[in-house]
Structure 1
Amino acid sequence: MSALYLGVDAGNSKTAALVCDVAGTIAGAGRSGCGDIYGAAGPEAAVAEVLAAIDAALAQAGASRADIVGAAFRLAGVDWPEDRAYWENALAGRYPSRSILNDGYAAIRCGEPSGVGIAVAAGTAAAIAARGPDGALWDMGWWGQHAMGALGLASEAFRAVNLAELGLGRETALTAALPAHYGLSSVAELNHWFTRREGAATHPQKAGCARVVTATAAAGDPVAVEIVRAQGRHLATYAGVAARRTGLTSAGGAVGVVLTGSVLMADASPVAEAMLAELPAHVPGAVPHRSALPPVAGAALDALGEGGVPLTGAVLDRLMGTLPPKAFFET
């Protein structure tokens, strides 16, 4: 078997792995559950999920670990040095040639093949990461002080309807829309379900109302509009931090900003619109790219690039043309 490269993108909703050859052709794909050492039942459980996704990809490719000459692990929860050290120990005997970074970095090459730029991902939560022209790295991790992504939209909407119910906030169409989305009859029932001690709504269930919030904003509800605008403002603000911390703005040239994640990639996303309106004030020279590739493909490109493979247009086209079906990436 020819030399193969491995890209892994591990998050809370799923873990995905791709195996490709030096030409960019994907030979195998696998997916499993939560690969975040902070979000799984325990760090060992996260490792098991990551390895399960890899084993599935290798099995589909008819390959073994020995065939992997380079691997890029982009893992949610690699936020502190001890997190990276944990994964280094867990993977050392299995994949000796590897790089391990936060999952936020996975998307950079999806829009910037050079790997230099900023990735802004807003899915269930948000991840922002940047690589500067001299290789400097910065990712938001636990520095983010605002709830962002679908959970951010949900939490702010939940706050708004509770305040309105108590007469402490503005009336909003979300008061009817949120309970209706969950098949509930009132804000009181929604509050109980979101906060009760037993049988409370899970994070994915809470995040599920994000599309209701953006649809209500699109319909003109002032409270929902402000929630959406605040989301865009927060994402742009942290992208600015990433740019400054990695030296991307000091040269005064163009700065690639890759947008990814379900909240930003939704058709006519008002959050993306709000972010793009704010972005120039925080990232001078920003050139936005909507990612045409899933983050795990960016991880595979990282593995190729770090292995010295030129990421030509032909390699990118081959990778895109051999991706698994869209359903593989859905959560």
Structure 2
Amino acid sequence: MTPLYLGVDAGNSKTVVLLCTAAGEVVGSGRSGNGDIYGASSERAAVEAVIAAVKEALTVAGAQPDGIGGAAFRLAGVDWPEDHAFWVDALAAELPDVAALRAYDRCSISNDGFAAIRCGEPSGNGVAVIGGTGSAVAGRGPGGAEWSMSFWIQDAHGASGLVAGALRAVYRAELGLGPKTALTKRLLAYFGYADVEEMLHQFTRRGDRPSRPWHTAAREVAGAAADGDAEALRILREHGEHLADYARVTAARVGFDVASDEVPVVLAGSVIDADGSPVRAAVLAALPERFASARPRLATLPPVAGAALDALAEAGVEVTPEVTSRLRASMPPPAFVRT
């Protein structure tokens, strides 16, 4: 039986899974909900989401778990050793044939930030900077060392971070503690509130919160910046500076000489990938000043494809340009990975 290779990318908005052959052809895919043990309604719910997506992919491929020859689980919420141990136990209980591959170093479990590295750097060595609903920064060094910023990230990023910063600017302006900003009018109109106090009340009160999550207003921040609003421009500039700093620290942690090595920095995620993304522009502007040896490149595949390529590479399959091209050509439609 020809083995298949499993790539899993689990986050707060969705969990997506690919099954591919050693040649890179995608033969199965699955999608489910929140697979983050920190962000799902319960740890059990996160496990069920991941297992459901894997089983869907197996069903589509007409395969069984014992037909998997390598697996890479890239899961939001694998931040501490106990998180890794939690998933080792969960997979042993739910997918014992796949979990058994860990004995042969063919089943790895790590933070979802690692999934994006091979999406822009075929060697798998470099730093990934991901901006989606939230953010992740992870790296793999030339000697194989891995490290994720995880909870070392002390600033909110991604769509949630942009809007959190915008709301803070609006509230401070309302108190007279910060400059007036066009963000006030934009956010009030977007969320449909009459004034700033009502908006603050609705986002902080007990009981049901607004049905429209605040991260969905990220385009309003981008629009205000495009119109020249000073506070929106500041938020974006600081966003880029923070992510550039975190990329440099991560590179050093995994063994790159950040003073002389050329370090691949893969930029990925829905907020960074968007056409004309001001976040991408902010990161690209900050990198030369704060991490001069960085060599940025945009991800050319979604993170779940990077997880599948990790599964291949870790199982000893050479990830050639032909394998990557075949995987890209056989990916499910774009809606499969859309948040």
Name the TM-score, length of structure 1 as normaliser: 0.97
Q: Which residue of 2 aligns with 1:45?
A: 45
Q: Please, which of 294, 310, 313 is the counterpart of residue 321 of structure 2?
A: 313
Mapped contact 2:258–2:293 kept (Cα < 8 A): no
Pick the aligned partner of 2:208 from 199, 206, 226. Answer: 199
Deviations 1:145-195 (A, max 9, x none): 111111111111001111111111100001100011122222222111211
1-structure distance, mates of 2:289, 2:230: 24
Give the structure 2 partner of residue 279 of structure 1.
287
What is the number of equivalent residue pairs in this alignment? Answer: 330
| Structure 1 alignment gaps of length 5 or more | none
CA distance in 2, matches of 1:124, 1:161: 21
SS at match of 2:238: helix
- Following the alignment from structure 2 to structure 1, what is the Cα–Cα distance between the partners of residues 198 and 28? 46
Q: CA contact under 8 A between 1:255 and 1:283: conserved in structure 2?
A: no
1:299 aligns with 2:307: yes
| Equivalent residue for 1:115, pick from 110, 124, 129 | 124
8 Å CA contact 1:19, 1:57 repeated in 2: yes
1:210 equivalent to 2:218? Answer: yes
Out of 157, 174, 199, the position equivalent to 2:183 is 174
- Give the whole-Å Cα distance in 1 for the aligned partners of 2:338 and 2:295: 27
- In 2, the alpha carbon distance for the partners of 1:250 and 1:257 equals 12
Tell me the CA shift for residue 94 of structure 1.
4.0
Runs of 4+ with deviation above 6 angstroms:
none
Query: What is the aligned partner in structure 1 of residue 169 from structure 2?
Result: 160
Q: Is the 8 A contact 2:241 2:290 kept in 1?
A: no
| Identical positions, percent | 55
Is the 2:258–2:291 Cα contact (8 Å) retained in structure 1?
no
Q: How far apart, in 2, do the equivalents of 1:251 and 1:89 lie?
A: 41
TM-score using structure 2 length: 0.95
Q: 1:6 touches 1:303 (CA, 8 Å); kept in 2?
A: yes
3-state DSSP of counterpart to 1:5: strand
Q: Which residue of 2 aligns with 1:87?
A: 87
**Separation in 2 of the partners of 1:25 and 1:193?**
48
- Tell me the residue number matched to 1:74: 74
Partners of 2:248 and 2:289 lie apart in 1 by 8
Matched, 1:101 2:93: no
Task: Report if the CA contact (8 A) 1:239-1:282 is conserved.
Answer: no
- 1:267 equivalent to 2:251? Answer no
What is the CA–CA distance in structure 1 between the aligned matches of 2:258 and 2:165, rounded to whole Å?
35
Q: Distance in 2 between matches of 1:112 and 1:254?
A: 12
How far 1:206 sits from its partner (Å)?
Answer: 1.1
User: How much has 1:91 moved relative to structure 2?
Assistant: 1.0
1:314 and 1:235 map into 2 onto residues whose CA distance is: 32
Kindly indicate whether the alpha-carbon contact (under 8 Å) linking 1:228 and 1:274 is maintained by their aligned counterparts in 2: yes
Question: Which residue identity is paired with 2:21?
Answer: D
Letter in 2 for 1:213: V
Q: Please tell me the residue identity of whatever aligns with 2:179.
A: R
